[in-house]
Amino acid sequence: MKQLTKKIYIQTWGCQMNLADTEVIRSILTKNGYGFVPNEQEADVIMLNTCAIRENAHRKVYGRIQKIISDRCSVVSGQKKPLIGILGCMATNLRTDLLENKNLAIDFIAGPDSYKRLPNLIKEATIGKDHGSQNTDYKPFDVTLSEFETYSDITPSRQEGVNGWISVMRGCNNFCTFCVVPYTRGRERSRAVANVVEEAKILAAEGFKQVTLLGQNVNSYKHDSDDFASLIEAVSKVDGIERIRFTSPHPKDFPENLLQVIAHNPKVCKQIHYPIQAGNNRILDLMNRTYTREEILDHIAHIRTTIPNIGLSTDVIVGFCSETDQEFDETYDLMDKIMFDSAFIFKYSERKNTIASKKHADDVPEAVKTERIVRLNELQKAISLKKNAAHVGETHTILIEKLGTAKDPDKCIGRNDQNKIVVIPRGPYTIGDFIDVKITRGTPVALEGKILET
Ligand code: SAH
Ligand code: SF4
Ligand code: F3S
């Protein structure tokens, strides 16, 4: 009997690594005869590729699962009910709860290193369902973390756009005490340079102008004798790829050769995401970040001297275990001194299994965390405005990403080398064009520009 193609709906949360993983998942399942649909109503299988980084990410996914389950319960009898699969970082982090919680009637679980097993897991879940009742306790799962899996043999199935993600390494060995990633994604491993270059060539042939090299610690990339600088150099030789970005780096892995490549290779964007997390040495030590505020200041000064037009962004956590007002003030002061172009600021959120959750109390009251995040966001807003306003009058080359904005169909959006959003009046361009614009205004979140008169 001919097997009917199952239709899959996949929703993705979390970082770019997870988005890139969804492209890998699409590729694996398409090859195995599955089809994808744009909404859950048409789906035979609903897959949630989840994130576990903070409690609100977690809560959103749980809310979503409950909603899908309640929708599924209201399906009229006789109609087929979709299978629900949990993938991604919550799958590894919360497998016991997901497997044992009777209120979460999910059907299968796959962690970030088990996506090649998805066709089997879906088959096993289907058989389990057909044989058992709707509440069958049998849930196939695979959350094994691998020391080798990099999906280097899978060409991700990408959506159109100007930017293609390439995962060049997976996992993390750093064990920052607040962070769940080493537990959800396992140890670091990198793909061979030649293999990454092949993927960049495929992207260029498909019309992508930009690649973003991805990894939880992308600059810890290491394969045989190749380091991250040599990987970037090799990718920059691919014809058709005009811009190279990377995320997310760790401040500890910026050797001089990497800074030199960023400074001198014209395809490498002058942009570094530099997550400081905190500005007080006791807190940095408690977080196991392996650097001090003095080292950050020296390093940023060195980066700015080496690459004068560098765009810098950061991540900060406020209200980490036992952080006092004075210690927070040092983070505030450091942000004020460095003046990042932009910053992602988070309240500390205790995660199960992490070192901090075992060794330190999450004792900063919620109201204090809120007060600190508000203060730091206000500071950053003022800094971002100042930085962006300073670009007025300059000429920037932007890569057009979007025609028409949500608010205004007569505007279009591009990004400059420093990754800043530049909004310009809509003209005769298409997505993927590079154009030179004169910056006319800076806001806290973007630049505005106009086409250069020729
Ligand atoms: N590998 C990257 C970070 C990845 S997670 C790095 O080392 O910089 C992205 C950001 O989420 C982190 O930089 C951190 O600021 C934030 N984050 C991670 N765990 C968190 C937690 N438990 N609570 C609040 N924010 C957290
Ligand atoms: Fe998490 Fe630290 Fe690894 Fe980044 S470097 S993923 S913050 S453990
Ligand atoms: Fe979230 Fe996992 Fe990424 S926890 S931030 S999806 S690595």
Residue 236, preceding peptide bond in cis (omega within 30° of 0): no
CA–CA gap between residue 143 and residue 233 (Å, rounded): 35
CATH topology of domain 158-269: Transcription Regulator spoIIAA (3.30.750)
Match domain 7-142 to its CATH number in 3.40.1350.10, 3.40.50.12160, 3.40.50.2000, 3.40.1190.20. 3.40.50.12160
Identical fold, 158-269 and 302-389: yes
For a pocket test of ligand 3, which of 17, 22, 351 has the largest count of ligand atoms closer than 8 A to its C-beta?
17
Confidence at 129, pLDDT banded by 50, 70, 90: low
Ligand 3 pocket, Cβ-based, cut-off 6 angstroms: 14-15, 17-18, 51-53, 88-89, 180-181, 184-185, 216
Cα 50 to averaged position of ligand 3 atoms, centre (Å): 8
Cα 11 to averaged position of ligand 1 atoms, centre (Å): 22
Task: Find out whether the beta carbon of 250 lies less than 6 Å from any atom of ligand 1.
Answer: yes
- Of 342 and 57, more confident: 342
CB 405 within 8 A of CB 422: no
Cα 72 to averaged position of ligand 2 atoms, centre (Å): 37
Closest C-alpha to ligand 3, atom 3: 15
Confidence at 105, pLDDT banded by 50, 70, 90: confident
Per the prediction, the chain carries an average pLDDT of: 92
Cα 57 to averaged position of ligand 3 atoms, centre (Å): 9
CA atoms within 13 A on the CB side of 260: 6
Question: Which atom of ligand 3 is nearest the CA belonging to 18?
Answer: 6
Q: Phi/psi at 227 (nearest 5 deg)?
A: -110, -175
This prediction's pTM = 0.94
The 10s digit of each residue's pLDDT in 195-243 is 999 999 999 999 999 999 999 999 999 999 999 999 999 999 999 999 9
Determine whether domain 395-451 maps to CATH 2.40.50.140: yes
Residue pointed to by tokens 């009917």: 4
The 10s digit of each residue's pLDDT in 263-300 is 999 999 999 999 999 999 999 999 999 999 999 999 99
Cα 88 to averaged position of ligand 1 atoms, centre (Å): 16
Domain coordinates of the chain in residue numbers? 7-142, 158-269, 302-389, 395-451
Structure token pair of residue 6: 């199952």
pLDDT of residue 1: 43
Ligand 2 pocket, Cβ-based, cut-off 6 angstroms: 172, 174-176, 179, 181-182, 216-217, 250
Kindly tell me if the per-residue pLDDT of 80 is higher than 80: no
Residue 81 is classified by DSSP as: P
- Nearest Cα residue to 299 out of 282, 315, 275, 319: 275
CATH of domain 302-389: 3.30.750.200
The 10s digit of each residue's pLDDT in 311-348 is 999 999 999 999 999 999 999 999 999 999 999 999 99
CA–CA gap between residue 277 and residue 327 (Å, rounded): 13
